[in-house]
Each structure stands twice: as structure tokens, then as C-alpha cells.
Chain A
Amino acid sequence: MSHSPTPLPSAEKLRLESLGILPVLLPAVGIIGLLSAFIWGWISNPMQLAFSYLFAFTVGFTICAGALFWTLLHHALDADWSVLMRRILESIASCFPVLLLLFLPIIFLFSKELWHWMTTDLSTDPLLAWKSPFLNEPFFYIRCGFYLLFFSLAGLLYRNLSMRQDEDGDPRITLRLRHTAYGFIPLFVLCLTFAGFDWLMSLDHHWYSTMWGVYLFAGCAQSSMAILILITNGLVRTGHLKGLFTVEHNHIMGMLLFAFTTFWGYISFSQYFLQWYANIPEETWFFVYRNTGSWFWFSVFLVVGHFFIPFLLLLTQPAKRTSWRLCTTAVWVVAMHCVDIYWIIMPNLQLQESRHAGHVAATTGFHPHLLDLLTLVGVLGILGHTILWLLSKGSIFPARDPRLRDSLAVTNWL
């Protein structure tokens, strides 16, 4: 079949005035949320603040890491459908310098509150002593710096070269980014896995799971696909990408969201299943803490809400091809991603509190705190503002990408 060549669309700027109060609202809630959380939390409950802030940071970090993954994957596989949406992914993935700044309070203010192994006497804990060649403070900080610098450089490289292609239309940039992606994907996997080990798994330093990296990755890819769906459909609804974005793009994004919903279910079940079967004390405590008291119902809610509900919501074709249905599911998925990260981090706050009170480490059930919400709104507000600012710097899609025509004509042959 022959396609008559249509002229390629010209670059399109983000029209901030069409977004209503969002460009003002995002930085406002970001700054107000973080400032109020820090002032109030620092005075009233520094440990709660530390864990709430780590929760909020991790939600932001995982979404940005997922966007970097999709950008790298797009290039490595020479994908065509995603060209139209790639600038949005690049903008999310370029938020890492901001995340680097947001990480500084964790290092300088909260590290001793968060990570129990930093304050544990090695002679009382042979398991920790065995891990100490890896799990020691200097090496830990070096690693944190390495992860965030790598993510920042990778995100900025992909966005900047893609922006340069908007100017000169040089197809060699596409090839260069593709070849770089082959090297960056293994580095990305290592950085994400070890960041997960360092920041989250070591909160409970006796516990270990070899599936931890891929478990986090599943949440990263899923939540950032949901964010991409929301941003793209938001742009379309405010009159952007007119005549370019079609229902087929929504369908593909919906399929990927569905795929990673299933992938998350598969990985999280496998992690639980292996530890349930092996029944090794250091491993099972992770789930015992999360099955105690009201945490049990929280865990059930996580399984149902993070896997079964989006699975059923996305199962049929109309669910992926109808904008409002896909967006509703995407909002739910992002919310459940927050629940997932909350479920990972917050029981550790109660363990720390009981240790500091001189008791045996134990969880007391699900007790939400206003600081969780304030820090989350703060971090997401600041990241949202950064994404909008980056998007407004150039065209909202790679206007001179050699695969743009393929992306516009993409169809799912039903």
C-alpha cells in the first residue's frame, strides 16, 4: 500500500496560558508543601518528617526513573510509535538534577534517622558486620552520588541531543542516541537496582530480596507510563498536538500500562511467594511487619488496588481507546504507586520508633500522618513545575525526528 507523503508538522510550543492555573499552582503547592512540612515536621516530629520525605522523594524518583527507562527503550528498540510523546518522557527524565537537590536533605538531615544500620554497633550485629564492606557510610554516599549523577547526565543528554535535532534535523543524532542506549540500559539497571538496595532495602538491613530491583523497576515503568498518559491526554485536551495525536497512541500506551500492571503483579507475587516458601527468618519479617494489625488490610488493599483493579479496568479494548477511561485508570495507577512506596517505607518508621523507645522492633498498624501528604504534594509539585518548565523550552514533540512520520501514522490493526 502506498502512503502519499503528507508534509511533516512544524514544531509546536507549549501554550502555558491554555493550562489555566496549573503553571502557578504547581510551584506554589510545591514550595508551600515542602516549607510547611519541613518547618512543622522539624519542630514536632523529625523522624516522621524523615520517613515522609523519603517516601515523597522515592515516589518522584521512581516516576522519573521510569521515564528515563522508556526514553532509553525507545531509542534502543528504534521504536516509531513513541516519537510523538518522547519529548514529554525526556522532560520527565531530565528532572534528575532537581531530584539530586531534593536528595540533599536526606543525606545531611535525615540519614541517621532513616537508616538504622548507620547507628548500629557492628559488634552487636554479626549479620551487619558481614555486610559492612558494602554497607558503610562513605561507600553509601559515593554510591548515592553516582546513581543520581548518572541519571542526571543520561536524562539531560537524551533531552539536549533531541532538542538539537529539532534545530538541525541531523539523523545521525538518532543513531548516536540509539547506540548510547545500548550502553546506558545496563548502567540504568544497575543504578536502579542498587539505589533500591541502598535507599529502601537497607531500611531494614537484615532483610534481603534478590527481586527487589526488578520489583521497584516494575513500579517505575508502570507509574511513569501512567504519568505519560495523563500528561499527553492533558495536552491534547488543552488543544495541543491537534491532528497528530490519535486514539492509536492511547491504545499503545494503554497496552503498555496493562503489561506493566501484570508485570508488577507477577514480580510482587514471585517475591512474596519465594519468601513464604523458603520461610527464612531474616526474609519473612518483612512480610510479618506488613501483615500485623491494620497493615494487613493495607497489604490486601495494595494487592487488589495495584494489580486486580487496573488489570480489570484495562482488560478490554475500549478501555484503552477511550481517553477518559484510560486517564481514570492512570490516575488510579499513580495513586496506587504511592500506596506501594508507602507500604515499602512507612512500616520502617514504626520499627525505628520502637527501637528508639527501647522496645523490640515491631509495627503498630497503618497510621497516616499529614506530613506524608505535605511532603508528597511538595515533591510532586516541584517536579511537575520542572516538567512544565522543561516542556515549555522547546517543541513539545521532536519535530524533525526521522521517525516522526511513522509515529503519526501508527495503527493497531484490530
Chain B
Amino acid sequence: MDYFFELFLGGLTRGSIYALIALGYTMVYGIIELINFAHGEIYMIGAFTALIVSSVLAFAGMSGPSVLFLAASVAIIYSAAYGFTVEKIAYKPLRQAPRLSPLISAIGMSIFLQNYVMLAQTSDFLPFPSLLPELPFLESYGLKIGSSEFIILVTTAVSMVLLMLLIKFTKMGKAMRATAQDRNMAMLVGVDVNRTISYTFIIGSILAAIGGVLIASHIGRINFYIGFIAGIKAFTAAVLGGIGSIPGAVLGAFILGWTESFATGYVSSDYEDVFAFVLLVLILIIRPSGLLGRSTVQKV
């Protein structure tokens, strides 16, 4: 039972990270019907920014939670700026173009950002400091969960609740939903659609940066390629749940996290990715719109 719980927890942690990234894919798809292939790179840039900031701070003699706070803050701001700029440079000029063009532009951006980080930093794995604090109270309560797992779960949960409130109740959230449902009509009621799309990229990038800092601290090493792998997995999660659907992305992420975790634990760790993608293929055969995806119904 202990082993089962361990795998369950591992899946949950993995799923949390996938969810944080998958939300960016699904929100962007929901609003401009584009698979933003450069999204994984935003996550990777978040992790690198946190590494650089925390190294500088450590060099300056700082330590403790303030390093985590500063590193994470700078990573969030930096990633948000990248997400915003990528949209402005690579997608906005192509908004009226055939759908394949921005998709190719997205792949180009992804390759560009990977190589840019590789050249600016290094192609080797770099050690990432453990920024997440130890939480002794967990053990004293008898909880069999590591500090970093606990922090990942709580941070993810809080981020998701905040995102839900933002989308449900704020003016920006309503503008995002309206734009996703009918862009021209949103314009006709006075929504600044360009700004709304920018907000969507910024919010998605913030979530990805949070994921990047958390997982890098948890695993302890990063390189320029982590965004690609995580991005593909999160994309799988988003499709699994129904791309465009926010609850779907979260559900898909956890299902994917558990599938990988249990398959690795009970079968073989060699087949981790195989199980993830077999699951994707099955879903696409049985329910092409994803678990919570909706096919568009239009009344005439």
C-alpha cells in the first residue's frame, strides 16, 4: 500500500507540473486556435532565469526563502515578457494568414529559443539549487510526503484556484471567454481583442514559469532541452482533456501523471513515454475531442 501511495503521490506531483504547462497550451488554443509550440521553451526560460538569479543572489551571500521568492518573481516576469513578445513577433502578424503559417512560426520560435539558450548558456546539464525550503512539520504530522512535493501540490492548487477566479469573475476573464467563443462579436461589444490575446499569453507564461521553477528545484538539474520534453507531455495532457478546455487540461495532466507514474512503478521505467502516448492515441480514437472537449454547436 505504501508503494502504491508513493506512486500515486509521484503521479500527482508530475500531473501538477504538466497541468501548469498544459493550461498555457489550452488557453492559447482556446483563444486563437494555435498550438503554441514555443510554450515549452517559456517554461525552460523560467527555469533558467531562476537559476541565474539564485546564483547571483547566492554569490551575494543571500540564502533562504527570500532567494526562492526573488528568483521565482524574476522568472515569472521574464517568462511573461517572453510569452508576450513571442506572440507579438511570431503570431500576431500572421493572424489573418492560413492556419498552417502561425503553426510553422511557432515551431520556428521553439527551435530558435532552444538554440538561443543553448548558445547563451551551455548545452550541458546545469545543477539547479534546491530553492524549496524543508518543511519539518510534515513529518511531525506523520505525513509521508516530501517537502518539495508538498510545495508543488499546494502551489499548483493555489495557482489553479486563482486562475479560475480570474477567468470566472474579472473583466479580463470575461473578455477572454467571450473572445474564445466569438472573436468578432467580442470586438463588437468593445473588447480590445489584441490586448486580450496578450493577456492570455502572459497568464499562460506565468503558469509555465511557476512550473519551471518548481520542477527544476525538485529535480535539481536543467538544460536547454527540458522545455521540449515537458512541452510535448503537457501538450498531450491538453489534448487528452480536450484542447481549449481549462478543466480538461488539468484533468488530462493528472491522468497523464498517474499513468506514467504507475506504469513506471509496476511495469518498467523504460516504457514511461510509451504509456503516455498510447493513452493519447486511445483517447484520440475513442473521443477525438478529448475527455472534456466540446464540439462546436452553432444555432442558425
Same assembly = no
